[in-house]
Structure 1
């Protein structure tokens, strides 16, 4: 099959080169890397035949969040599942896809796949630092089919710092807050006639808002990001205007995070604690990226944007996996809780697993934009490879009656898990936007051809014999989409579409079916003066839905990596978004409302080893999908200051598939969380800020996915100062 892929690649490349060589002529354009964005400056969101939202730089700066999940709640149809309180491990889903490690959503930075191994191991234990982004684009529905490999839910594209369009410009921001929170963010750059560059540094940290029982160890984190870009461009008068951009990025993280939550009793009595057996838990990561972007304007009708990328990510999440010989979800949490209460002079053993993994993701992608008057056509190709290399071990420890920790044995690297999951893929797409009168018709076709493999050398711990194995899945799929918008008048647009959704099977699951669905949407947009509104009904009809068993969901060791087929599933709902700006003379008052209603249903009886599904009966609802989500924001804006408030409501959620009333030990209660932010401009260069997350200090359960309860972040006050030039 690899030789077939090479032949197809050569054929497509030759066709593209032949097309552009026949059409090249002198032209003049403004220099920008528009192929790194979904929408671009020329794309009107009002014309997109589906749910399309852009969070602008101004919107991002209102609350200046470092947690991407807090940012994305302004987008209808997006679900988030908090975990650590700071957004270090984002869990994002769209239209009922499930949120676990954002594995069902296509995450990109600068239009390049950002997950460490998006085909072979999509669970995103790395996520681009959202606090340094200039713009965030979210696309769901039919138009998202251009951005595979997972096309059912949607895509999030984060646009990094652009080179300033000035000789020299920069900014420094300093923030400090409760629980040792601190942030330093600065950039400097500029652009000449033919060369531009920018350097950005972003660091944030906290001591954490939890205390470990019988220990003085902290529960916080430190994250660093460094970004550098250099762009070389031709003269505007050149026959073929071109840009060549080099992007280098480095990031690391050191966080004392855990999968150990609390029992129900301890959550109710002292929710901001951790058990002493979690004191060694630590995540250590390093991410390196090289991205080369090229743009050429071939004529008034044709332009070609190309990106080559290389991502190297390594992580070791050293965390407690068993207590007293029991896994966390099968009695280990209860043993840890009881030991912290009363040891009776005894000791307690616990295992700490080194979840050591190295990831590699690389590829090249190119998109030819063609302007045929009524037809705006895109031809795209992506050649991609990725892999996840697991090389794990388990160390054993003991807590004595005085809560002192000692190591009793050290594991040998590779003895717990020693395997490589890998993927090779080629993706082709064509997308035609055809304008006829007041109609805009979008027709797309995506083709994916991939080989996903698992080389497993087995466990070699005492008492077990390694049994090396190799499994492979060859998958190819054709994904059509069709959508339309109709301009009723200058204010009102009707939209609708149909699309085939897809997600590939996991490595090691040779008999697993693809995840496939037919997705429908129908809605309307209204824009008039200070009013904007959008309402979209969506319906996802799954022929088969996947459930992936991961440690983050509390799965037992023997089930981790397994994939389960749910068969037919229906997800339907309504997305509403409305905004109004009230003009009060010297003041203005922006008001925004976001609402999502979701109804889900399994259409089969089946059993799985997935904790959140378990034994499913036809008619059961999906877990961790709230029926109602609501966000209301209001602000007051003057010349030199502004204040904004967000009120978020999330309905109760069931944590295991079921129907009817939710059992008390399987429910995440509804909650309302309020955030506040204020800005004051000292002068045109200086600004001071004040922010409060969880203003009312709402105490709420975030998740039960690790076999115990994780708590949301309490009230947190942050002040800041920035200087720009």
Structure 2
């Protein structure tokens, strides 16, 4: 039996949930000899025996969505939630099973099995996220099966699978789309394979003018481009040794801001932006290189090793103060009054706008490997990773005057390195051992993961931009053993029962004064069922943390003088239920596929404490954790013919409180519940060509998504995308 490419994916331990172009159903994917292809079990029956919950979103479903927003894709799965921000998913906030969604910092994000966050140990807040539009699959894993993927095991894992090298001598894709608010997308790749090698070149660009309006007339959109190439070669005639090289470059410019609207202005026009934010811009550059070696030792042994490096630079030049008031402390009101006075024909005094250059460089690099052995009824996996990453903050502030004609002029230019000037770094090594054992109708998966992390902070303060003196230093070392065990039982032809327990862990950041780990236990239990054309799963989960981390980040609206600090919140209890059901009704000339997923989540603080984090504040035991909707659900259904389909998705997100508490949620402390409908249509012209159309927010629902940044931010309004796809 050949073991294929374990270190590059998590598919082989996932429940397969695939939406095809003409159906919504549970199935499995097919294997490929390409080194970067991720494989899963070859049958639904085998997948159903897995001792944890997960989902596999296929290329067909990604083509159906035709979206560039990972958050819209993830809404098709249970147990995953998110806080929208810019409307396009450029910097998603994703949480799983009660973990914080802020900048997806509490989950493990990978591309082709490699950690994708810019500095996943030293600074996990992911201001970079791989472009989902160029992916061929998305894998989601929760529960005890995620022992192979650290460092964070209290939430879950997302692995994004990049485009595979075509298996034919020549193959490729051309995908062009146009849409609302100046949206355009171009995705193309070409490649091929012969007996000894294969290669691929890929380009992905998407952009929009934005759906928010500035009185000063500037765009509020973005432009992002990815360039990727792969090359692989067999090193022997038996094709047992294979080497792959992967290179990627991307850049982005987005006119995004953290300045939200006052409640009154949001009620009048939620799509406006204050003139003070006209210069806000995020500029990024991301470079990746990796080398993957795969060795099929024998029919029952496989070795896979990856060396990688990620280099990410970004400067989010954005408003931090207006007339000396920080966001959330009067800045929005000042900006609002200025724009209102001008719009009514008045001539207000100039106001002073402080823009901070949040300039940071990130570097992560490492080597990881896995060895797999099949031995009778055992599948043994052994893996290790050596990793280093760092974040270099080198920031400054500039002062501008905003005049009555909406023009902005420089009052003073800051000196780089005089606002924040420090390096946070981490050196980590980890290993795991996992054994999947089969005993008749029982499958038991047990293992242990070990993490050791050395954290450091070198801080030159605000008066030494040349870094000529010795910095103040902070050093910590933490480690953890993380056991896990899960089991499934094939009760009968229709039911598979499962249960599992896993030690939860997240390392502290260099800004954590006490350097305490986030630790606890994850439990899950439930079952999967299948009756003719109906299948699904019902899983309950409980997480008990001994010490929850809270990170002070600009994205949470934290005090700007505390950004980078991490705080310990003590005990937290998280629990919930996930439910998924699929059905496909077949008729003479069409089918009606239906899928429904539902998640209930509850997360409460277990201790009373005082917090410097704005979204926590003064916390009492029993307070609900903010920005966690108790209920989310999505219903997808439609009509599918032989070469066409129309599918609709009705998505519900419950109300959320924006600060910790247990009082009633209202417009002062929360975000209202919302129901949004999306629709997609596809027409297959022939085997190679297709047309598609996608409408997000069909009924043009106006809804707020967050108050974290000092004011209300709005969700994307109704938008249309029409595209043409040619594949060969």
TM-score bracket, shorter-length normalisation:
over 0.9
Contact 2:424 2:455 in 1 (8 A): yes
1:45 to 44, 47, 54: 47
Selected match of 1:552 from 533, 550, 555 = 555
Confirm whether residue 252 of structure 1 aligns to residue 251 of structure 2: yes
Whether the 8 Å CA contact 2:34–2:167 is kept in 1: the answer is no
Residue 496 of structure 1 corresponds to 499
Aligned residue-pair number:
691
What does residue 99 of structure 2 align with? 97
Instruction: Tell me the CA shift for residue 32 of structure 1.
Output: 3.7
1:21 alignment partner in structure 2: none
1:237 Cα offset (Å): 3.2
In 2: Cα distance, 1:246 partner to 1:397 partner: 47
| Shift in Å, 1:473 | 1.3
Is residue 459–residue 466 contact of structure 1 (8 Å, CA) maintained in 2?
no
In structure 1, distance between residues paired with 2:539 and 2:386: 34
Write out per-residue CA displacement over residues 118-160 of structure 1, whole angstroms, 9 at most, x where no aligned residue.
0000000000000110011000010112100000111000000
Asked if residue 435 in structure 1 is aligned to residue 434 in structure 2, the reply is no
Aligned pairs for 1:568-647 (under 5 A) are: 568-647=571-650
Is the 1:45–1:53 Cα contact (8 Å) retained in structure 2?
A: no
Correspondence list, 1:80-119, <5 A = 80-119=82-121
Matching of residues 373-522 of structure 1 within 5 Å:
373-460=376-463, 468-522=471-525
* Structure 1 residue aligned with 2:204: 202
Q: Distance in 2 between matches of 1:41 and 1:89?
A: 35
- Residues 7-406 of structure 1 correspond to what in structure 2 (within 5 A)? 31-33=33-35, 37=38, 39=40, 44-213=46-215, 215-234=216-235, 237=238, 241-342=240-341, 344-406=347-409
Give per-residue Cα distances to partners, 1:536-582, cap 9 Å, x unaligned.
00000111111101011111121111111111110000000110111
State the partner residue of 2:711: 708
After TM superposition, the structure 1 stretch with the greater mean CA deviation from structure 2, 54-63 or 410-419, is 54-63
What secondary structure sits across from 2:71 in the alignment? helix
Partner of 1:6: none
Secondary structure of residue in 2 paired with 1:135: strand
Q: Distance in 1 between matches of 2:116 and 2:348?
A: 50
Q: Normalising by structure 1, what TM-score?
A: 0.93
Contact 1:150 1:502 in 2 (8 A): yes
Q: Cα distance, 1:167 vs. partner?
A: 1.1
Match 1:666 to one of 665, 669, 676: 669
Over 3 Å counting, the alpha-carbon distance change for 1:333 and 1:392 in structure 2 is same
Secondary structure of the corresponding residue to residue 561 of structure 2: coil
Query: 1:620 touches 1:659 (CA, 8 Å); kept in 2?
Result: yes
Query: Is contact 2:338–2:348 with CA below 8 Å preserved after alignment?
Result: no
Q: Which residue of structure 1 aligns with residue 546 of structure 2? A: 543
CA distance in 2, matches of 1:42, 1:289: 34
Q: CA offsets, 1:574-617, max 9 Å, x none?
A: 00011011111221111000100011211111111111111101
CA distance in 1, matches of 2:164, 2:658: 41
Distance in 1 (CA, whole Å) between partners of 2:238 and 2:123 is 46
**1:9 alignment partner in structure 2:** none
Shift of the 461–398 alpha-carbon distance from structure 1 to 2, 3 Å rule, reads farther
Alpha-carbon shift at residue 256 of structure 1 (Å)? 0.4
Residue 298 of structure 1 aligns to a residue whose secondary structure is: strand
Decide whether aligned partners of structure 1 residues 40 and 421 sit closer, same or farther in structure 2, where only a CA change above 3 A counts.
Answer: farther
Q: C-alpha separation between the residues in 2 aligned to 1:409 and 1:541?
A: 50
1:184 and 1:500 map into 2 onto residues whose CA distance is: 43
The answer to whether the Cα contact below 8 Å between 1:533 and 1:577 also exists between their aligned partners in 2 is yes
Deviation at 1:508, TM superposition (A): 2.9
Q: CA deviation at 1:466?
A: 9.7
CA–CA distance in structure 1, aligned partners of residues 699 and 348 of structure 2: 42
8 Å CA contact 2:501–2:522 kept in 1: the answer is yes
The CA deviation string for residues 389-412 of structure 1, in whole angstroms up to 9 with x for no partner, is 000000100012322211000000
The residue number in structure 1 matching 2:17 is none
1:521/1:508 Cα in 2 relative to 1: closer, same or farther (>3 Å)?
A: same
Distance 2:638 2:573 in 1: 38
Deviation track 1:169-227 (CA, whole Å, cap 9, x = no partner) reads: 111011001100000011111111011111111000000001112x0110000000111
User: Aligned with 1:96: secondary structure?
Assistant: coil
Segments of structure 1 that go 5 or more residues without pairing to the other structure are 1-28
Residues 318 and 354 in structure 1, CA contact (< 8 A), matched pair in contact too: yes
User: Any conservation in 2 of the 1:38–1:137 contact (CA below 8 Å)?
Assistant: no
Distance 1:298 1:377, change over 3 A: same
Residue 435 of structure 1 aligns to a residue whose secondary structure is: strand
1:104 CA drift (Å): 0.1
Moved more, 193-202 or 37-46: 37-46
Unaligned 5+ segments in structure 2 are 1-30
Q: Which residue of 1 aligns with 2:15?
A: none
Q: Cα deviation per residue 1:10-39 (whole Å; 9 max; x = unaligned)? A: xxxxxxxxxxxxxxxxxxx973437x7484
> What is the aligned partner in structure 1 of residue 10 from structure 2?
none
For the structure 1 residues 30 and 336, does the alpha-carbon distance in structure 2 shift closer, same or farther, using more than 3 Å as the test? Answer: closer
- The 1-side partners of 2:476 and 2:228 are apart by 37
- CA 1:403–1:491 in structure 2 vs 1: closer, same or farther (change >3 Å)? same
In the TM superposition, what is the alpha-carbon distance from 1:83 to its structure 2 partner? 0.3
